[in-house]
Amino acid sequence: DIQMTQSPSSLSASVGDSVTITCRASQNIDSWLAWYQQKPGKVPKLLVYKASSLHSGVPSRFSGSGSGTEFTLTISNLQPDDFATYFCHQYNSYSGTFGQGTKVDFK
């Protein structure tokens, strides 16, 4: 299976900050990368697919970039609703793997 290494595992930030989460794939996955947000006790929500395409209804302060093996999720102007755990996920034709998750909490 392809391994996904996500960093950092947690970060503390304030409202208005810009934060970046990184995911590294153990082999080339082109742009088959998605990002999800999950709050405690809730179902994960899709934010970004195909590395940089914003899912319908997701605020434009979320953005994804990268291809091949290096990917980032950036949240600009962090809002109170953004404090949650974020997961990257590779979904190529033959497998799927999640990163370990990044918990974003209040500084």
Binding site for another protein (CB under 8 A): 1, 32, 34, 36, 38, 43-46, 49-50, 55, 87, 89, 91, 94-101
The nearer residue to another protein, 50 or 61, going by C-beta atoms, is: 50
Q: What angle do CA 59, 90, 20 make, to 5 degrees?
A: 45
77 Cβ contact partners less than 8 Å away, ≥ 6 residues apart: 16, 17, 18, 61
Q: How far is the CB of 43 from another protein (least distance, A)?
A: 5
* Minimum CB–partner distance for residue 52 and another protein (Å): 12
Minimum CB separation of residue 1 from another protein in Å reads 5
CB under 8 Å to 48, separation ≥6 — which residues? Answer: 33, 34, 35, 54, 55, 58, 62, 63, 64, 73
Residue 37 or 69: the one with the smaller Cβ distance to another protein is 37
